[in-house]
Each structure stands twice: as C-alpha cells, then as structure tokens.
Chain A
Amino acid sequence: MDKVIGIDLGTTNSCVAIVENGVPTVIPNRGGYKTTPSMVAVTEAGKRLVGHIAKRQAITNAENTVYAAKRLIGRKWDSPQVKNAIATSSYRIVRGPHADVRIVLRDKEYSVSEVSGMVLQEMKIIAEDYLGESVSKAVITVPAYFNDNQRQATKDAGEIAGLDVIRIINEPTAAALSYGFGKNVERTIAVYDFGGGTFDISILEIGSSGVFKVIATAGDTFLGGEDVDARVIDWLVKGFKDEHNIDLRQDRMALQRLKDAAEKAKCELSSVRETEVNLPFIISSGRNEALHLQRSLDRATLDDLSSDLIERTVDICRQTLSDARLRKEDIAEVLLVGGMTRMPKIQLAVAEFFEREPCKGVHPDESVALGAAIQGSALVDDKQEMVLLDVTPHALGIMTQGGYFEELIPQNTTVPTQRAKIFTTGRDNQTAVKIVVMQGENERAQHNELLGEFILKGLKRASKGSVEIEVTFEINADGIVSVHAKDLETEKEQSIEVTASSGLTREEISHMMEGARDYMVERRSTEEFEAARQEAERVSAEIERLFPQVEQIVASSDFGRDAIEKARGIVAKTRTAIARRDAAAVKAELDGLARTHRMFKGVVAKTH
C-alpha cells in the first residue's frame, strides 16, 4: 500500500507526519527538529535555502527571504490583505499576469504557489530521508476558512513540489482527528486554532464508529500570531520614533531584526512575566551615530497590545456556536491548536468563554500534521473504518442581475453536496447567459470571492423570463466545486470544474514543476557529493597524518616507496575531483582511499 504523508503547511512553521504501523508519528528533520520554518531564501550565489538555514540568514538577507507566504497564497493583487502584506514585508511583492501576486527574489519573479511549493518540497525531502524511500502521496492542510481559490493555490503548490495531493483538509478538523483517533468516544468538541497567520474555530461531533462530522466552522484568514508580532513591532517602532525621531521601518534589515525580536519576546512572555528586547546597532542616525534599541516588555503590556485581536477570536467563537445551534454546555472538550495558544492570556480567554479548561492532550504544533497523516492513511486503506464529514466554510452561489449574490449552497453545508436552482434570462431574445460563480456571505456579489465564470450559449430566442436554466452546484469530497448549467428546453448543457480564476495556468504549473524537479536533482546530487566529499576528506586526512610514520618505516623498501607514491597519487586525484565537484570521481576514489588507509594502519601497527 502507498505511503501517504500529512503536511501542515503553516504560516510560520511546517510539520510533516506519517502513520507508521498504525501509529501516527511526526517526522523530524535532519537537525532533529519536529517543525521547520516556512521560509525560503535565495543567496547571492543564487542558491535556494529553505527552512532553518533560511531563517538563520533572514536578517542579513532580508530582501530575499520570504516568510508568511501563506498570507498571500490564492489572493488577488487588489485585495486589502495583499496591500497590508506589501506594507509590512521585507521582501518585494508585485502584481502577476493574472491580477495575482508574485514575489521577487534576486530579481526573479516567483508565484506564491511556487514559493510555498519549495517549502512543501523541503517537507517531502524530510519524509523521504527518514523513510529511506520516495514519497509521492500527501494530504495537505489549510485553514478551515480558506476559500476555494486559496485551496486550489495550495494544491498547486503541492503539485509543483512533485506531490500527488490526494486531499486538502481543514486544520481544525485534522487536529480533531488526531485527538479522536483510536479513542472510542462520542462527543462534541470545539477546536480553537490560532496559528501564525490565521484563526479558525470548528465545532465537530465525534462518533464512536469513527465518523468525524463538522457542524460549523468560521475564522479569519488574516488574523494570527504575525498580527500580534506586528502590534509589538508597532509599539517598539513608535517608542523608538518618540525617542529618536527615526522610523525603523524604512530599513529592511532593522525591520527584519525587529520582527525576529518581537516574535521571540512574545514567545518568552508565555513563560516569564517580563523580557528584554535588545537590538544594538539597530540603525545609524543621520549624524553617523549608531543607535540601539533596548526596551523591556512585560506580559501585561503584551496582553494590552493584543487584547482586541483576542476579543475578535472570542466573537467568532460566539457566532460559530450560535451557527451550530449549540450551547457552551454541549461542548465536551476544547482543543488548542497553533503556537499562539501557548499565550496565557489566550488560554484564559478560551477557558472563560467555553467555561471549561482547554484540553492539554493535543500538541499545538504537531496535531494538525498528525491528523493529516491519519486522514491520508484512512483514504488509501479501506480497512480503516473512518470517515471525515467536513463542511463548506463559505456559501456558494452565482451573481444575478443587479449584482446580487444568489446563494445555492449555504455556509456550513456538509460536503459532498449538490444543489440546483432554476434561473431565467433577464432580456428578451437572450441567447446566452453568463454564469459567474462566487463564494462568500455578502449579498452584493462584488464583496464576495470570484471563483470562475462560464457562458452557456445556444439558448432559444424567447421573451425574458420564459427560458428556464437549471444551475447545479456540486462540491465533491475533495472540496472541488463544479457548476453545471442546463437549458431545460433545448437540453443544452455546459459545465465547468471551477479552477481558481486568478491562479496559474496548467502550462505555468508544468513549468514550475520542472523547476522543482531540477532543484531536486541538483539537491540530491549535492547531498551525494557532500557525503562523498566528507568521507573522502576524512580518509585523506587520516592518510596524510600517517604519511611521515609510514615513509620512515618503508624507507628501505622499493615496494614501500612505490606504495607511498601510489597513495600520494590517490589523494591528489581525490583532491582534484573535490575541487571539480565531481561526485562520481570522488566516489570512485573512495575504495582506493580506504585500502590505502587500511594498509597504512597495518604498517604502523605492525611496528608497534
């Protein structure tokens, strides 16, 4: 049976897991870390860095290091969230050919899916290194409140990374899976997921038979830990401006340092009541004088700075509970997911609202990836009796005359689902209708998200209102939206499987996939080379260390002198191969080196 990995593609950090022998397990990376920063950088030499090494050089290479790409994925250029990101990010964000968003690194433009694809590729490599075999199938998680465009773009990212994304599932649902897996419980739970870039609240019913059913879900795709960091940065910047009359935001490197420091301080304040933000030489004043930033931040101030954000999450919880038509007493358990839920103020707010202590049984950073792995395993193994019934987080409908939005599938409808409605023409002798597919809750179409559009042609010429067009919306188990329109009289039909309107074309995706494959090849060969080089250099150094002794011992023997000449030759050849970065040549010398080393050791040993 195929192995399926579960990937939590987080705003700040990502995590990968797999179900091994029935046990869901997080896969650590080479450094032993269970999560990997969702960061990508390109060095001056044009080398791609992903994860921890990207983070480590983020400050010095601020302009060419991308973080929080998840805040941009699937969004249109003219959305307020993108504008906000442009104002606060240290890397360049520009407009793409489909009115979408591109990121510029070292003067090259990348689509957001491509950049996220790089992070996914890194997680794929981590899994493959651990398992010792190649992996292609994956389940990737997204915030529950992501719209269809954002989901499609995430799926594209997976495809670019060379993954067969068998399912996209919602993060809170994944956490619930990891909570309920293997437990024989029947209860209603709430999942409060406050991550780096997004907030979600989901209410689920866990059935003892292995059925997980989402009742209601809501959230905010632009509310997360990064916003709390931003509040701290604002506070530091303002304080500095008041003192020195200099806006630190003007300097990309300073901004990046501030960001780093704010995040660190925030995290520290979860365990201590006061911490120090210390950034020496943060910027130079106009008079060539170096300025320093040193300020202490206490928990109370942090709580104040973030209180309205926390309030907002509680409001969303209240609304969702009402949408689910449940009371607080009906919720048996509250799960906390996402790094931000480590903050004491948030834990308090959640406990206060739900009138119970949150469950400590799920790991806030790992449960989502574990849940994704569990779902992946259940999909490919039909002996596993488990079914996930999620809902569509946004209503789906079409634009009607006058710019109104007519809902066909309401919010929080269980998927897969299918609904149909009959519409008619607005003008006499109209022979075609344009079906504009949208997603959202606003009654004015322009405030909702455009998913796609198509034209149904060949209608009979008739007076307006007399033509009957049946529009059927379908969301399948993969969450893919397809829309079907049929003229009831002529029986003419037209369907589309909705693909993101501001997304990448198939050609672009193929091209990016090639790029990813090339990177893979280069990366593997580099790793191979590095491994061979290290071994070769180690043995060479050993040989060279023994040279003087051996030379002395075999000085009198012809054979001995021959051997030494040969040894020198091998070492020299190895060095050349290393300098040429010729992995094959280096590997070819390893045998010879090993033999020489053995021989030398033997000679030296005999004499003692």
Chain B
Amino acid sequence: MMDSPSSPPGSSFDSVHETERASLEEDIELDLDARNRILRTYRDLNHQDHYALLGVDRTADRQAIKRAYNAAALLYHPDRYFRKRLGSFKSRLEAIFSRVSLAIEALSDPVRRSEYDAYLSERDRTQDIERALSNTEIEVERILAETEVESKIEASNLSSQSRPSSAPEPAANDSAFVDTASRRDAFSRRLLGGRGRTSTLPPSSPPSEPSPPPMTTESAMTALKRRYEQRVAAARAAQSRHFVERGEAAIAAGDPVSAANALRLAVRLTPGDPLLERLAHDAQSHAESLLGDAYSKQARYEEKAGRWTEAASSWRRVCEIRKQDADAHEHAATSLVHAGGALDGAVEFARRACSLEPDNARRHVALISVYIAAGLTESARKEIETTLRIAPSDGTIAEMIAKLGVPR
C-alpha cells in the first residue's frame, strides 16, 4: 500500500485517501476488516482484468473460475448485507459485485472467454511493443555509458603495458586517470624510479631496467586521451556491429520490434552511416505498423464491448502511428462521440478523415454527425451541402443524411 506523505494537498490521491479514511470511521453496520477489504477491492477495480479480479490464473479451468466466483459472491453479493446500514459502502459493493458479474459472464461461456483471452493477449502485446520501443532510449544511454567504462578500462590497461617498469603501477582504475592529483603522483613515482627514499636497501639492489626518457605531462595526457578515444570508438564500432547482426537476425526471424530496437541502438552507437540509418528506419516503420495493427484490433474489440472511452484511446494511438489512415480517424471520432464529454477531439479526427479522403462521402457523413452531436449546426449544414455535391445520387448516403435530419 502506497504512502504519500509528500503529495501536494488537493491532489487526487490525497482526496481518495481522505474519503477512505472517513469511510473507515462511518457509523455503519460493517466491521473494520470488511471495510478495509472492500476499500482495497474497490480501489483496484478498474485496473484489474476479469482474471485478476476473481483471483485466478488466466489458464484456470472452468471449475476453478466457478469456485472463485462463488467465493466472490459470498463476499460481495448484496444479500450478504441484507437490510444493513452501509453508508458509502453500498455503492462500492454494488460496483464490485457488478464487475464480478461481468467477469463470470465473460469467462463462463467458452466462446466469450476465448474472445476475451484474445483481447487480453492483444492488449499485452500492444503494451509489450510500446514498452520495448520506449525502453530503447534508456537502453542506448546504458550501453553508451557501459562502452565508455569498458573503454576506459581497456585504455588504461594498454597504456600500462606499453611502459614496463619495476615500479609499482598505480591501480588500474579510471579514477587514476580522472584524478589529476593522483595522475601527477603516478608520474612522479615513475620519474623517481622507486618506492621512495625511505627504503634502506643498499644501493647495490638489483638494477631496474633503464627507464625510458621522461615525458612531459602534457604530451602524456594527450597520448592517453587519444588512446582513450580510439578505444571508445573501437568499442562502439564493435558494439554497433554486434547490434546490426542482432537486428538482421531479428528481421530474418520476422521480429520487427527487436530488429527496430537493435538497429536503433546501432545507429546511436555509430551515427552517420546512411545504409545503417536506412535499415533502422525501415525496421522502425515495420514495428510501428505492427503496433498499429495491434491497437486497431484492440480498438475494435473495445468498440464491440461498448467501452467507448478505451476504444477512443486505442484509435487515437492507431492514428498517431498511421497518420494517413482515414478509417482510423473516422473510428476515433465516432468513439469519442459515443464516449461522451467534450467533442473538440472528435471534430478534429473527423475533419482529418475527410481531408485524407475528400471523395469518400462516408467520411463526410461521419463529420456531419459529429458536428450535430457537438451542436455545430451551421458547420453541419455546410458539410451536408458539400456531401450532397460529392454524392448526389448515392442512395445509402442520402438515407443516412435523411435519418440524421437537416438541423435548423
């Protein structure tokens, strides 16, 4: 359970919290355990699919589902609270039981259940694709950071190998190269050729190899920097090749989403390669088209189930992906009308559908009905005139217009 000590006053979470706390103190005929249970279930109601609501696996068999429903009925059926004073819990219980009833209706008939399962897996796929595509940015940053770290390590290892010395090397971590002071120390130790003057070894200790001529600090640093950048570039190129291979394998395997991800990373790692960019772009379009299909299917299911708000949202996503799809825009418009509320969005979508297919009278008829629903009678009239000019003799269109009526 979330705690939110720092949410701003008046935020929606806070007001839910307040309402719930008040409910726990109402003078009604419900014990505290029951109240908490009902509050919890009610809060989660809209985020749960039928299976989650009943508390069963998606693969549960009919008997398990029936048992789960029975358990829910015993908890939430209004008869279990017969003639009790329930206060604000009455409507919560009704909402919960109503959802439970919807769940068992959808899941107990094999045909309806398979339709619902199909819808859920479409929805899952859509969410997966979305997540995969949006995670790419994070992936890229992570990989870039990793390649830098790795490059630093490699660069430091290489530089220490090129200058053999009996003097102990400073620790091969990147801080040795980042921290100016310790870098200077490392140099100074080399130049002094030994652990320091406190040694009491006789001067006739085994002779060290002849030290290379001392370098100036600057040129040493430039050399290091150059080598570091070389390493980074090499590492990135290697990574990029690796991702291109992955992408090509994904394309061959028919997984456009993974291909799009991999190729996008490759382009980030090695930008400026036109062929690579072309490949990545194609893969991305392909993945988005898949997403478009998924959302389209989801939207149609939601329309059929009468869930207009969800349908409108799904159609909206389709329109974002398929900007030229007039049908999607028309559906988005009509879903918004059915969902109710402000209709500016619907008007926009319907207009876009018309401008995409100006010769398709159906699109215009849709726009007319949206205008009427939005109360824009002047616009509706003008649109009707336009439509009649486009399809003056089309019977079905004329019928549709007649049915809608001519607004005054």
Q: Which A residue sits closest to B29, measured CB to CB?
A: A382
| Number of B interface residues in the complex (CB < 8 A) | 28
Which A residues lie within 8 Å of B77 (CB)?
387, 389, 477
B81's nearest neighbour on chain A, judged by CB, is: A382
Residues of chain A lying within 8 A (CB to CB) of residue B407: 462-463, 466
* CB-based contact B405/A465 at 8 Å: yes
Q: Tell me if B67 counts as interface (CB < 8 A to partner A).
A: yes
- Tell me, yes or no, whether A207 is within 8 Å of chain B by CB: yes
Which chain A residues lie closer than 8 Å to B74 at the CB level?
209-211, 385, 387
Q: How far is the CB of A290 from chain B (nearest CB, A)?
A: 61
A379: B residues at CB distance < 8 A: 79, 82-83
Main secondary structure of the interface of B (DSSP, over half): helix
A306 within 8 A of B: no
User: Which B residues touch A382, using CB under 8 A?
Assistant: 80-82, 84
- A residues in contact with B67, CB < 8 Å: 207, 209
Which parts of A188-223 form the interface with B (CB within 8 Å)? 205, 207, 209-211, 213
Report A-chain residues with C-beta under 8 Å of the C-beta of B403: 465
Interface residues in A409-443 by Cβ distance below 8 A to B read 414, 416-418, 428
Contacts of B105 in A (CB 8 A): 414
Once bound together, how far apart are the Cα atoms of A352 and B67, in whole Å? 32
Complex Cα spacing A378 to B66, Å? 22
CB distance from A108 to the nearest CB of B (A): 37
CA distance A356 to B179 in the complex (A): 91
User: Interface residues of A toward B: which range?
Assistant: 20 to 34
Q: B73's contact among A166, A389, A476, by CB below 8 Å, is which?
A: A389
Minimum Cβ distance to chain B for residue A520 (Å): 25
> Cβ of A416 and Cβ of B81 under 8 Å apart?
no
Residues in A whose Cβ lies below 8 Å from that of B82 = 166, 379-380, 382
Task: Report the nearest B residue to A418, measured CB to CB.
Answer: B98
Instruction: Check if A488 is an interface residue, CB within 8 A of chain B.
Output: yes
* CB of B71 closer than 8 Å to a CB of A: yes
Say yes or no: is B101 at the interface (Cβ < 8 Å to chain A). yes
B70 touches A417 (CB 8 A): no
The chain B residue with its CB closest to the CB of A422 is B338
Give the shortest distance, in Å, between B28 (CB) and chain A (any CB).
14
Q: Which residue from chain B places its CB closest to the CB of A381 in the assembled complex? A: B82
Closest A residue by C-beta to B402: A465
Q: Give the nearest-CB partner of B71 in chain A.
A: A209
- Check if B70 sits within 8 Å of A207, measured CB to CB: yes
- Tell me if A481 counts as interface (CB < 8 A to partner B): no
Closest to A425 in B: B405
How far, in whole Å, are A591 and B104 apart by their CA atoms in the complex? 69
Tell whether B404 is near chain A: CB-to-CB under 8 Å: yes
Contact residues in B for A39 (Cβ distance below 8 Å): none
CA gap between A469 and B406 in the complex, in Å: 20
Return B245 CB to nearest CB of chain A, in Å: 54
- CB neighbours (8 Å) of A211 from chain B are 70, 73-74
Kindly state whether residue A464 has any CB partner on chain B within 8 Å. Answer: yes
Q: Which residues of A483-503 have CB atoms within 8 Å of chain B's CB atoms?
A: 488
Nearest 7 Cβ contacts at the A-B interface: A463-B405, A211-B70, A207-B70, A379-B82, A209-B70, A387-B77, A477-B78
Besides the contacts A211-B73, A379-B82, A382-B82, what 9 more A-B pairs have beta carbons closer than 8 Å? A166-B82, A166-B83, A382-B81, A382-B84, A387-B74, A414-B105, A416-B78, A463-B405, A477-B78
15 contacts between A and B (CB under 8 A): A205-B66, A207-B67, A207-B70, A211-B74, A382-B82, A387-B73, A414-B105, A462-B407, A463-B408, A464-B405, A465-B403, A465-B405, A466-B407, A476-B78, A477-B77
